[in-house]
Amino acid sequence: MQFALGSLLLLLASASANISKSPAAAVHLPSSTKNGHNQLSSKNIITDLELDSGWFKFFFGQSNEETAYTFKFDYDDYVQISITDAYCAGDSFDLYKNGAYLLTTPLVSTNGCKDWTDNPNVAMKNDIFSSSKFSLPGKFNLTIWSKESPYNGGAAFIRADTRLQTCGPSTNMVLVTAPLSTHQQVVATCKRVGGKPVHIDPKNTKEAAKLLMDCGRTESWFGRLSLLPRSKAKGLGCLAFTVAIPDDPTVDVLDCATKLPVLCTLA
């Protein structure tokens, strides 16, 4: 009887050992460090996110926890915000504008870091990483909370850019979709994206029509298209089209207080 009982205990111990070594029990998520987390990151850092300066890396902790940074935006025009998770897929974020809920980035599956990348450009184009792109008027504070954080911490990226629309493939022009109101703003904005304001003779309707054909097809700015700040005009006039008909464009000279998009020609 003692021998049988001993054999039974030995059998149970062996079975228990086999269960603990099974593949299912051995699965575990990577550490937060592999997910880009910095254990030394501070909290409540208020910082300006410079326009067109590329990606800014920020850190986050556990799920439903505020991240280290509050981002301040103080621009005259709309800006395009891009945010993406990186490193290990599975994290997502809640965004708040001036303390009010704004949006949640897409909830995605956790795959145990099989598609690891520390390149935000790569992550932004890959649906397995949670990312969002949106536009906001330029004066606001943006706070980010971790929505899902399966690795109990990590790092992600955010950037702010001038809103651009590429014109036709045969041109080297872009449309800055943020409305501008002064000659100085127009020149500075085009310079920031690597170009100069498009110049056109107000009497040359054929050239104006070509510009409308090249850059006006999407109709996303239907009705008015700013083409030229005319510094030699009385005051600072701005040339614009009120009717986007290539064969017969109607030209109005507007006061520069009128806020319109602007065409830039790239250098």
In this predicted structure, the answer to whether residue 24 has a pLDDT above a threshold of 70 is: no
Amino acid at 241: F
pLDDT at 204 over 90: no
- Phi, psi angle pair for 9, to nearest 5°: -65, -40
Query: In this structure, is residue 31 part of a structural domain?
Result: no
- End-of-domain residue from the set 161, 184, 214: 161
Residue with tokens 């001993």: 6
How confident is residue 202, by pLDDT bands cut at 50, 70 and 90? low
Q: If DSSP codes are grouped into helix, strand and coil, which group holds residue 157?
A: strand
**Interatomic CA distance for residues 227 and 177, integer angstroms:** 12
**143: buried, middle or exposed (CB in 10 Å: 19+, 13-18, 0-12)?**
middle
- Mean pLDDT calculated for residue range 182-203: 69
Which residues lie closer than 8 Å to 39 by C-beta, 6 or more apart? 33, 153
Q: Which residues, in sequence order, are bridge partners of residue 45?
A: 69
How far is Cα 144 from Cα 60, in angstroms, rounded to an integer? Answer: 9
How confident is the model at residue 261, as a pLDDT? 64
Is 35 a residue whose pLDDT tops 60?
yes
| Cα–Cα distance measured from residue 204 to residue 201, given in angstroms and rounded to the nearest whole number | 5
- Looking at the fold, whether 213 and 112 belong to one and the same domain comes out as no
Do 154 and 168 lie in one domain? The reply is no
Residue 195 has pLDDT above 90, yes or no: no
175 and 132 share a domain? no
CA distance 140 to 154: 25
Q: How confident is the model at residue 124 (pLDDT cuts 50, 70, 90)?
A: very high
Same domain, 170 and 246: yes
Is residue 23 in some structural domain? Answer: no
Residue 175 sits in a domain whose CATH number is: 3.10.100.10
Cβ-count burial 105-142 (b if 16+ within 10 Å, e if not):
beebebeebeebbeebeebbebeebbbbeeebeeebeb
Q: Which of 3-12, 43-52, 57-66 has the lowest mean pLDDT?
A: 3-12
Q: What are phi and psi of 96, to 5 degrees?
A: -125, 130
Query: What's the whole-number average pLDDT of the chain?
Result: 69
Of residues 164 and 14, more confidently modeled:
164
Residue 176 belongs to domain spanning: 164-266
Distance CA 128, CA 138 (A): 30
Which of 76-80, 92-96, 206-210, 229-233 is predicted most confidently? 92-96
Q: How confident is the model over 231-238, as a mean pLDDT? A: 41
Cα separation, 244 vs 248, whole angstroms: 8
Whole-angstrom Cα Rg for the chain? 28
- Structural domain tally of the chain? 2
Of 12-16, 135-139, 243-247, the one with minimum mean pLDDT is: 12-16
Residue 133 lies in a domain: yes
Task: Note whether 112 and 183 are same-domain residues.
Answer: no
The confidence score (pLDDT) of residue 165 equals: 67
Instruction: Please report the pLDDT score of residue 69 as a whole number.
Output: 84
Whether 86 and 196 have beta carbons less than 8 Å apart is answered as no
**Which one-letter DSSP state was computed for residue 110?**
-
* pTM for the full predicted model: 0.59
Percent above pLDDT 90 for the chain:
26
Q: Which of 207, 166, 152, 167 is nearest to 36 (CA)?
A: 152
Same domain? For 233 and 201 the reply is yes
Is residue 11 included in any domain, yes or no?
A: no
What 3-state DSSP class applies to 205? helix
Once rounded to an integer, what is the mean pLDDT over residues 127-156?
90
223 lies in a domain? yes
Residue 6 belongs to some domain of the structure: no
Closest CA to 172 of 46, 36, 63, 264: 264
Q: Where residue 64 sits, what CATH number does that domain have?
A: 2.60.120
- Reading phi first (left if > 0) and then psi (alpha if -120 to 50, else beta), residue 111 is in alpha
Does residue 168 sit in the same domain as residue 152?
Answer: no
